[in-house]
Structure 1
């Protein structure tokens, strides 16, 4: 079957129109003519008959097999335009037409946190990402996505798999770059007993891991895996949320600071370990609210050990089940909200009933952001601008920061 690709979906699959509806094709671009085998609503083994002017040779040697990246076959300009349109389309779906600032993209080799898969082999271990749409594991020794410090930790990950894995199971290895070295959190390995704990601790010591966590239990802590958040130094709990790149974190923080302006009393919702609360406390008193007690404890410790910060109060609270009510925002001059992908429907409704002058909204899902934005706008807020941020280079993900004002 020969098809002409019409558009790119928000998940990165190209879409052509077939006799019975849309047909999806992986790793091709709008305008390309492709030939392949139709199976259901997918065109398999697609061969490009007529390439797009936006097609480039993927820079990474693993691009054709690895599922870690999606869009290396397209020019950077194409990806920027596509991700910008993803944000624009999500807003348009709620009837919103808002000025978009130029997208900010993190550079190659900048991902400081990733979850890789590991399996034992006859000769040792294999570490990598899964092939696209498959359980097959692809080794990525020349990955252009991960920070060099994470690549340097691969021997440690291999040693962990050899020590604590089996030939029958696959391990998930979350590795995070910290100022003190690699921070590893592993799941799916052998049950932890005294002997295994000792062997894993030796691996951590031999390879200089800052911290090792095994199925949620601490095994080794050579030194606290610190992250810089403004003037403060924070050791997030194992597996805790962290912005994917340092550049992405800086871009989002700059947008948030621009949004809140000179506000002196700020409430930070879904505050995590202090990504925004701690830098903002250099200028304002901040009340930080987060549902995870360990992250709030890390934030509080970071604040107490830093110099020159204004007061931060903190609260452990499930904002999905018990959002802050309008009267809890009295005297608050700005709110920062950074919910997970599901957005913050309940909290947005109570925010809409408040009189907070400014809201800085950070989102990793343009669709749920647009839904929440419609709620705020319907209550009288103006959406002043939206700043797209691309931390997940070559993927289908796009984040944003936005400013609402009364």
Structure 2
């Protein structure tokens, strides 16, 4: 099984990737340029199970629902281990946490209107064509009507992308559309039918019935329109527990790529926190949450592009510990400064095993030891893996 969740086979001396095939299976497939489409199962794996979603295999989403839980988990751990092995890194025992919880709390539906037909759903596998769906059981119950709602918006706007987020007090919707000719009252009518808390169109506020918020250990974070959150609430809790339980007795902590501050707010219960991010709206949300929370130590926020301007080793002298949670590209430049610093405790959160392994190599070469490692599965049934790691020296 490849790291993208596709079966790997040999055909005519060449490697062929076979989506939806499992290790040990014999399949009949049509091969085109190194990729194959299954036409029949000749000898199914004993690990093959019935997917629970009727759209499995068509919408391009949960590509591994047909795999039993135990081998699926083992494979996901192996993907992380293989990335570390390629960098020549030794690592402690790798633990696994299922963080699906009640489901994913955010998704982007692609709405399309063509020849009088309106559809909304997810992209088909390796395609820009949309598979129309009426339900997505991977989402939290609060988003059960999100496909219907997205279809209604597409009926008004035409082609659009509808980002839906379930927050504590309702549903927040951020729409992107290339052509906007609809009257706003048509959009607000759709919103009213679906009890939407906030609605933006291309970044402009269309409707605000209240402030969308999520809770971070007692602090209410006002989420900006389309703001980034961890995919599941259970995933955020699992990552936060790893961070807070491994940060030690630090009195001043840097939270890099902090977003809206799910880690910073929890860490501020025990230490002063300086939070850095390039997203001004996210920093504003964190600052507001910190002002209104009780019993926290000071949190300062700073707008800074850490890809172009990482905190230098000299600047890092102000801190006892660092947490960093970069986007999929990782934090190569920042890792080089961390490796040069005096720090003894660094916690890394990553959503990409390959860039995590690259950054880990930099830290280890700088004298750190990879002391703890956990895979946190909040994108269940997919090839995506979230990693939490403690580096110490």
TM-score norm. by structure 1 comes to: 0.93
- 2:144 is matched with which residue: 129, 151, 155? 151
- Residue of structure 2 equivalent to 1:190: 179
What SS does the corresponding residue of 1:103 show, helix, strand or coil? strand
Partners of 2:174 and 2:199 within 8 A in 1 = yes
- Cα separation, partners in 2 of 1:383 and 1:339, compared to 1, 3 Å: same
- Residue of structure 2 equivalent to 1:373: 360
Offset at residue 21 of structure 1 (A): 2.1
- Residue of structure 2 equivalent to 1:3: none
Offset at residue 123 of structure 1 (A): 7.4
Q: Does 1:37 pair with 2:30?
A: yes
- Residue of structure 1 equivalent to 2:89: 96
Offset at residue 372 of structure 1 (A): 0.8
Partners of 1:13 and 1:27 within 8 A in 2 = yes
Q: Distance in 2 between matches of 1:386 and 1:358?
A: 14
Q: Distance in 1 between matches of 2:64 and 2:146?
A: 26
- Residue of structure 1 equivalent to 2:211: 224
Partners of 1:25 and 1:46 within 8 A in 2 = no
Q: Does 1:177 pair with 2:166?
A: yes
- Cα separation, partners in 2 of 1:108 and 1:315, compared to 1, 3 Å: closer
What SS does the corresponding residue of 1:115 show, helix, strand or coil? strand
Offset at residue 172 of structure 1 (A): 0.9
Offset at residue 159 of structure 1 (A): 2.5
- Residue of structure 1 equivalent to 2:330: 343
Q: Does 1:202 pair with 2:196?
A: no
Which whole-Å deviations, capped at 9, do the CAs of 1:148-193 have from their partners, x for residues lacking one? Answer: 111134443233222222xxxx32111000112111111125326x
- Cα separation, partners in 2 of 1:210 and 1:124, compared to 1, 3 Å: farther
Q: Does 1:86 pair with 2:75?
A: no
Structure 1 unaligned spans of 5+: 1-7
Offset at residue 86 of structure 1 (A): 0.4
Offset at residue 202 of structure 1 (A): 3.2
What SS does the corresponding residue of 1:330 show, helix, strand or coil? helix
Offset at residue 34 of structure 1 (A): 1.3
- Cα separation, partners in 2 of 1:100 and 1:236, compared to 1, 3 Å: farther
Offset at residue 331 of structure 1 (A): 4.0
- Residue of structure 1 equivalent to 2:70: 77
Partners of 1:183 and 1:209 within 8 A in 2 = yes
Q: Does 1:239 pair with 2:232?
A: no
Q: Distance in 2 between matches of 1:108 and 1:28?
A: 27
Q: Distance in 2 between matches of 1:384 and 1:303?
A: 31
- Residue of structure 2 equivalent to 1:250: 237
Offset at residue 122 of structure 1 (A): 7.2
Offset at residue 250 of structure 1 (A): 0.7
Offset at residue 199 of structure 1 (A): 2.5
- Residue of structure 1 equivalent to 2:20: 27
Aligned alpha-carbon RMSD (Å):
1.7
Which whole-Å deviations, capped at 9, do the CAs of 1:17-76 have from their partners, x for residues lacking one? Answer: 233421111101111111222222122343211111111111111113221111011001
- Residue of structure 1 equivalent to 2:130: 137
- 1:127 is matched with which residue: 113, 120, 144? 120
Offset at residue 401 of structure 1 (A): 0.4
Which whole-Å deviations, capped at 9, do the CAs of 1:366-388 have from their partners, x for residues lacking one? Answer: 11111111111111111101110
Q: Provide the aligned length of Structure 1 versus Structure 2.
A: 393
- Residue of structure 1 equivalent to 2:350: 363
Partners of 1:105 and 1:391 within 8 A in 2 = yes
Offset at residue 364 of structure 1 (A): 0.3
- 83-92 or 111-120, which deviates more: 111-120
Structure 2 unaligned spans of 5+: none
- Cα separation, partners in 2 of 1:69 and 1:156, compared to 1, 3 Å: same
